[in-house]
Chains A and B, each alone.
Chain A
């Protein structure tokens, strides 16, 4: 807080009385000495005026009591040293009494005026601090995005303004105890929290000040901050709901689209099978096509089930020790185009703790994706242990993925290039792969430079060496 420059004498609070007494004595003594040379040029009666300086200075600076004392001291000194007969008190001359009365009146007036000014300055300073406090709390509570985090600094500010060592603001009802006094905070008739202050430092005067001055500001500002936080939460929720609605619409659209194609093929193929003009070859061709399309439909339904399991959180992995080289080998062998996959795995690969079936679904989806985008070019599958994790890289030589799409391709039904571009995949495989890998404590991401193919990297954590059994080393496949 910025300090106000005090005026020469008018301090916020009267200074220590001892210093005042010393100043009074010094001033009266100095005035008494100063009058000696002046006695030759100034009429004796007028010299008493000089004592007014001492009386005024002391009254203004140290209050009425010392002012009156210095008035008496001045009258006495003047009488003793400068009013003939000097060296003794003469109290019968009228001028002595007049001087004393003037000194006393001056002391009273100056002291009162100073007292009043001091009281007003104190009041103004208090109000300024309150305004500062309100502004500071407003800045803290309304300026930041996290209300909970702002409560600590705001409470410290309250404590500083009240001259307390500590304070706390809680957004709940807290009962006071022998250490802490709990002041309820309400807004619009609703309890919104508690202000906790150290009981030992809180006398009645301070408590009254807190309740009159600090509390209303804290309550009003906290109330507004809470309302704002609620509105923000509502807005976020609305946005999330809208987004989820959009996703659901896209999913429904995509599902109906993806189910229609194989269905159409099956219906058309079956109807064509009834044609009388068909040759034997054509007939078996159609029958095979019907089966292929039915399988495609079944795969799509499987994927939809996987996805719905993952999205509803019902994909709890059943973990066991899994040999990745075995799993990758099986996944590749299961494909009709196994020959185009070049699998290379570290010697002596450590086992991972995972749900083998889920990992297999994830890998199968990634292999399918790589095969789809690399045309007839080979796909490499490599696994390597690095520190406490194992990395599997599935690298294709397809067209690659644009930087802006690297994350979005893992969203269900996300279609690279939008809806208008033709897509052969279901748009589900990558989402399912990510879902299952993450369910097993791993990560999967894509790396790519457009035009230079893409790498899908699976990272799985390795359990500690002591617990992980090792399989006999297997050479590069």
Chain B
């Protein structure tokens, strides 16, 4: 993390929520830039690019997803969408527009701050790590080897690629579509059943208890997330 405080753009028109988030982010060591409308958010982001953005889905002058899409034109900053609508379609729409994450109101502020931190870590650690160790699981990307506390895990090539994609984006919610395109190729973009089968196999091999997965979490109807 750089010496200066990282700046987070918060765009929501609920003043009480914005105020509370401002204090909570400050407590976590962030500087906050506040915008109430889509236009204001884009103005502020252009004048002084923030390190991350939290954007409400419904804004007085338009759609938060459009803001996300506009920011993505020129920035790779982590974007987290807030919404009072917990519908899968909306989540997928936001993620496909380039959002890194999607948080449904009412959320636990601690969790939101943790997601911002995780997203910034991912964005900051762009350099390839050859070995990723997470909570008792070690993935050696270079050697294509996966180890658990009780020894090496044998994965098929597809399973390894799937795990690699999830681990590299750990903490981030990946849609079915993006996983299918990344691992299988664009022609498999809608083959969700295949993805399900492989996720189930992968869980059986790496999870301590496949029934209550610790590493690979399901976001029903949307996608999967590897715990940070």
A residues apposed to B, CB below 8 Å: 253, 256-257, 260-261, 263-265, 267-269, 271-272, 275-278, 282, 285-286, 289-290, 292-293, 420, 422
Contacts and interface: CB of A to CB of B under 8 A. Distances in A.
B84 A268 contact: no
B19 A286 contact: yes
Contacts of A265: 14, 16-17, 20
B105 A275 contact: no
Contact of B107 (A264, A275, A289, A292): A264
Given A272-B109, A275-B27, A422 B19 contact: no
A134 to B, nearest CB: 56
B214 to A, nearest CB: 26
A277 B23 contact: yes
Interface stretch (B42-50, B56-64, B142-150, B217-225): B56-64
B110 interface: yes
A422 B60 contact: yes
A261 B20 contact: no
A275 B25 CA distance: 10
Contacts of A286: 19-20, 23
Interface residues of B, number: 26
A-B residue pairs, 7 tightest by C-beta = A268-B20, A265-B16, A264-B106, A260-B84, A272-B20, A264-B105, A275-B27
Contact of A277 (B21, B26, B60, B63): B26
A267 B23 contact: no
A386 B63 CA distance: 47
30 contacts: A257-B85, A260-B105, A261-B14, A263-B105, A264-B14, A264-B84, A264-B107, A265-B20, A267-B107, A268-B16, A268-B17, A268-B20, A268-B21, A268-B109, A271-B24, A271-B110, A272-B23, A275-B26, A276-B27, A277-B23, A277-B26, A278-B23, A282-B23, A285-B19, A286-B19, A289-B16, A289-B19, A420-B58, A420-B63, A422-B60
B1 interface: no
Q: Which DSSP category, helix, strand, loop or mixed, fits chain A's interface?
A: helix
Interface in B46-74: 58-61, 63
Nearest to A285: B19
Contacts of B19: 269, 272, 285-286, 289
B173 to A, nearest CB: 19
A157 B19 CA distance: 80
B3 interface: no
Given A256-B84, A260-B84, A275-B24, 8 more contacts: A253-B85, A260-B104, A269-B19, A271-B110, A276-B27, A286-B19, A420-B58, A422-B61
Contacts of A293: 16
A21 to B, nearest CB: 97
Nearest to B38: A422
Contacts of B86: 256
